[in-house]
């Protein structure tokens, strides 16, 4: 990477994404732009949105010049606050915990802000998928075109398929799935779905399990759906207004219902292999599933240089244009995956009802920390990646309004950007300023860019009301995330003492208080009816029976969206939102006592005397195996999110958030002598052999245990722990990017 003088460019801070491989640079004003990125902007982005090249580059240059100093200052504040907290804990080492003194100290240094007067957010122009529909949400790496398309198309999903292909339906009693259709298993699926329909769109009399045929009663201006029962009697629906539309194509019919703002499509076909034997000839039930999808540029993506970033941006632009495609081999033939078309029905009043065939898409930018070699500023410093993300992802979204093949992603003309890893109100206010500058650059109306604030750092949690206030005119989303939040909890309190084992941390009072605090604050700041209050990911994509038994707790807790790991999981989780009216839940929660800030500010500390040798080694094994299983794919293959088998071979969805908590946890135990560096390294070597074995079937996999001294992935995993105390806020990106660049250079 060469600058104007031919010398290597300077990273703005040690968290650079810089690549050692130069692809050439283009001088643009005072900027030096990587040629790959420059050509993407000139040849693909600007023609797609109709903005002049000079306007774009001048605006970007001005934005970088003006906002870079503030970004630097905010990061310096993070470091300064953490240093003061570290020193406070060191000075009280060995003393009993004094909570009142601790809270007073956090207020004194400005970590904990005073809350201002109550207020309500004033966000307008919000689509109903965010404002009024409660339902599942997917998060997917936009760098993977196939995953991105699958998630975007997951707005609608087959309930029959979701049940038949997962462990929600038992394999006992001859119900094993196989290479061909098993009628016994199919019958169990049909019974399950009939029960769901009875609970959700019940008939006036009888059960959906005893329907002979569904039909349309057209005797009045507003058509009705009628069920004819096996005994020849007929029944309407207990809540007739839930029937909203239908289609009629020969022997194939569909009946569309709406419950709790979510659609259910009952498809019938007496000639279908399933429908011919099902009550009412129901060939499938299609659920409105992933209402929204976050296309991720951050934790689930391994983008370490300009070339990687262009791949991310190109896919996002393709989604917005409707042109993104992905080819895959399936069943011996090549399939081309594209965005779904809109779904058109005949409404009960005789008009057309058009529904989007895809999720409403949000895009998650990176946080304020990292820099990118895509652009060098006037001083040859790499530019903050978050600045480039905000400009480019917003610009890509403009292309959506210029296509006419499908309903617009946002019917209200908004652009939805999720901003992660912000620490406190000042950083959120900086995002508000950044978005305003981007709107000016791109010629967008004020507050076109909506923001989702991820409540995953403790300084944001404890100051959440003031964080929301800082973006009250554009806020559309807050959510909780146990993993990143726990990683920040450990790092913030690193010198306070040794942490409990990870499973024990989950049972500590602070985590439930944190979850409730997020909902309580969101409700009192007026988010219901305007914005999403979200919950975190179900991490086990193969354990759907467990998910169905537990994840209804999220809507019951007042969350109108929650993350799921797959389109299938979205279809199953959608049933929870039919069972729970989140609007009613939020109305009740508005009157409850606020969650405890004191609980939130109590670190999950343990007593090493309670940790026997077996407990310590088991915890190290679990953490080290998870770290290695994720890092080896990140470093060697550039895979930022994957299903990684845990130490018991249960597949878990892993991204940088899971990595952060595991690496910080071992680093904490090392710092407080719960374990030793020798024990940690021996554990890593043993777990590397296990991870190598778990990946034996991957032809792209590079074994670590063959040569620990030369394995970049193994070195990266060890560094995350051994250097964990010194990483900014415990983040894994700086070390991951450094080692991934080294791997790419080889």
299 is catalytic: no
Position 23 scores a pLDDT of 53
Here the CATH number for the domain that contains residue 686 is 1.20.1220.12
- Alpha-carbon separation of residue 148 from 124, 316, 566 (angstroms): 28, 9, 11
Look at residues 222, 253, 288 and tell me which one is the last residue of a structural domain. Answer: 288
CA distance 368 to 82: 16
Position 178 scores a pLDDT of 87
Is 390 among the domain residues? no
Task: Return all residues near 161 (Cβ < 8 A) that are at least 6 apart.
Answer: 284, 568, 571
Position 11 scores a pLDDT of 52
* Closest CA relative to residue 360, chosen from 159, 48, 146, 127: 127
599 is catalytic: no
* Closest CA relative to residue 717, chosen from 620, 624, 618, 621: 624
Only one residue has tokens 């809270």, namely: 103
**Alpha-helical segments (H) within 126-207:** 128-131, 145-152, 159-164, 183-200
Look at residues 233, 256, 288 and tell me which one is the last residue of a structural domain. Answer: 288
Is 205 among the domain residues? yes
Is 657 among the domain residues? yes
Is 180 among the domain residues? yes
Is 193 among the domain residues? yes
Domain extent at residue 658: 608-745
Look at residues 288, 315, 334 and tell me which one is the last residue of a structural domain. Answer: 288
Here the CATH number for the domain that contains residue 275 is 2.170.170.11
Position 257 scores a pLDDT of 98
CA distance 242 to 247: 16
Is 545 among the domain residues? no
CB 78 within 8 A of CB 728: yes
Is 278 among the domain residues? yes
Cβ-based neighbour number of residue 84 at 10 Å: 16
Per-residue burial over 16-38, b = 16 or more CB atoms within 10 Å of its CB, e = otherwise: bbbbeeebebeebeebbbbebbb
CA distance 208 to 745: 62
Position 1 scores a pLDDT of 31
End-to-end CA distance of the chain: 16
CA distance 58 to 31: 10
pLDDT averaged per 10 residues in sequence order, the chain, 746 residues = 38 45 81 98 98 98 98 98 98 95 98 97 98 98 97 98 98 93 96 98 98 93 95 97 95 97 98 95 98 97 98 98 93 91 96 97 98 97 98 98 95 98 98 98 98 97 98 97 91 98 94 97 98 96 97 98 97 98 98 97 95 96 96 96 85 89 98 98 98 95 96 98 98 98 94
* Closest CA relative to residue 61, chosen from 366, 307, 378, 371: 378
Q: Find the catalytic residue in 25, 337, 364, 741.
A: 364
Position 92 scores a pLDDT of 96
Position 10 scores a pLDDT of 54
Position 651 scores a pLDDT of 87
Task: Return all residues near 111 (Cβ < 8 A) that are at least 6 apart.
Answer: 81, 85, 424, 459, 462
CA angle 685, 688, 692 (to 5 degrees): 150
Is 124 among the domain residues? no
| Total domain count, the chain | 2
Position 247 scores a pLDDT of 96
Query: What is the enclosing helix (H) or strand (E) of 514?
Result: helix 509-524
The DSSP 8-state label assigned to residue 60 in this structure reads H
Q: Find the catalytic residue in 34, 377, 655, 719.
A: 655
* Closest CA relative to residue 456, chosen from 424, 486, 485: 485
């Amino acid at each position: 990477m060469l600058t104007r003088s031919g010398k290597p460019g300077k990273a703005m801070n040690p968290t650079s994404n810089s690549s050692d491989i130069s692809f050439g640079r283009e001088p643009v004003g005072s900027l030096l732009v990587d040629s790959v990125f420059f050509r993407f902007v000139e040849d693909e982005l600007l023609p797609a949105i109709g903005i002049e090249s000079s306007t774009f580059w001048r605006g970007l240059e001005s934005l970088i010049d003006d906002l870079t100093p503030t970004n630097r200052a905010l990061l310096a504040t993070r470091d300064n606050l953490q240093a003061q907290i570290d020193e406070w804990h060191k000075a009280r080492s060995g003393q009993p915990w004094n909570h009142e003194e601790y809270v007073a100290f956090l207020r004194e240094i400005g970590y904990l802000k005073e809350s201002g007067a109550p207020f309500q957010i004033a966000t307008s122009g919000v689509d109903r998928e965010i404002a009024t529909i409660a339902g599942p949400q997917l998060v997917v790496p936009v760098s993977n075109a196939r995953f991105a398309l699958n998630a975007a198309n997951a707005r609608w999903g087959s309930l029959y398929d979701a049940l038949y292909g997962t462990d929600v339906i038992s394999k006992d009693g001859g119900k094993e799935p196989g290479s061909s259709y098993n009628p016994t298993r199919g019958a169990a699926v049909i019974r399950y779905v009939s029960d769901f329909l009875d609970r959700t769109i019940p008939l006036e009399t009888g059960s959906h399990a005893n329907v002979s045929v569904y039909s349309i009663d057209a005797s009045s201006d507003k058509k009705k759906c009628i069920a004819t029962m096996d005994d020849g009697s007929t029944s309407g629906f207990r809540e007739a207004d839930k029937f909203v539309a239908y289609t009629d194509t020969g022997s194939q019919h569909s009946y569309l219902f709406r419950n709790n703002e979510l659609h259910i499509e009952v498809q019938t076909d007496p000639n279908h292999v399933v429908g011919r034997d099902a009550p009412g000839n129901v060939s499938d039930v299609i659920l409105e599933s992933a209402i929204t999808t976050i296309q991720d540029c951050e934790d689930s993506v391994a983008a370490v240089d300009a070339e990687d970033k262009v791949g991310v941006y190109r896919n996002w632009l393709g989604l917005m244009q409707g042109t993104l495609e992905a080819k895959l081999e399936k069943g011996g033939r090549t399939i081309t995956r594209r965005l779904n078309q809109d779904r058109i029905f005949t409404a009960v009043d005789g008009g057309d009802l058009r529904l989007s065939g895809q999720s409403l898409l949000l895009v998650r930018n990176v946080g304020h920390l990292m820099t990118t070699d895509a652009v060098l500023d006037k001083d040859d410093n790499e530019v903050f990646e978050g600045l480039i993300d905000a400009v480019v992802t917003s610009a890509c979204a403009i292309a959506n309004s210029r296509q006419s093949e499908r309903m617009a992603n946002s019917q209200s003309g908004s652009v939805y950007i999720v901003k992660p890893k912000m620490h406190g109100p000042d950083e959120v206010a900086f995002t508000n300023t950044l978005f305003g500058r981007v709107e000016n650059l791109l010629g967008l109306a004020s507050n076109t860019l909506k923001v989702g604030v991820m409540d995953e750092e403790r300084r944001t949690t404890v100051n959440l009301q003031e964080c929301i206030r800082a973006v009250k005119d554009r806020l559309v989303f807050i959510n909780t995330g146990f993993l990143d939040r726990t990683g920040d909890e450990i790092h913030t309190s690193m010198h306070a003492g040794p942490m409990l084992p990870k499973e024990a941390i989950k049972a500590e009072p602070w985590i439930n208080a944190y979850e409730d605090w997020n909902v309580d604050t969101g409700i009192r700041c007026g988010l219901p009816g305007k914005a999403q209050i979200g919950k975190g990911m179900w991490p086990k994509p193969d354990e759907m029976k467990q998910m169905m038994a537990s994840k209804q707790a999220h809507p019951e807790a007042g969350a109108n969206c929650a993350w799921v790991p797959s389109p299938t999981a979205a279809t199953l989780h959608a049933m929870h939102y039919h069972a729970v009216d989140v609007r009613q839940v939020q109305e009740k929660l508005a009157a409850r006592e606020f969650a405890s800030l004191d609980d939130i500010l109590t670190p999950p500390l343990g007593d090493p005397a309670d940790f026997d040798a077996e407990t310590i080694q088991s915890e190290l094994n679990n953490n080290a195996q998870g770290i290695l299983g994720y890092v080896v794919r990140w470093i060697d293959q550039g895979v930022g999110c994957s299903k990684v088998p845990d130490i018991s071979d249960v597949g878990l969805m892993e991204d940088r958030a899971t990595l952060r908590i595991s690496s910080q946890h071992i680093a904490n135990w090392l710092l407080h002598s719960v374990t030793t560096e020798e024990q940690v390294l021996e554990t890593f070597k043993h777990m590397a052999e296990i991870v190598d074995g778990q990946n034996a079937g991957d032809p792209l996999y590079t074994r670590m245990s063959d040569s620990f001294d030369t394995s970049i992935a193994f070195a990266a995993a060890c560094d995350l722990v051994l250097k964990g105390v010194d990483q900014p806020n415990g983040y894994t990106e700086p070390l991951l990017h450094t080692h991934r660049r080294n791997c790419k250079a080889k």
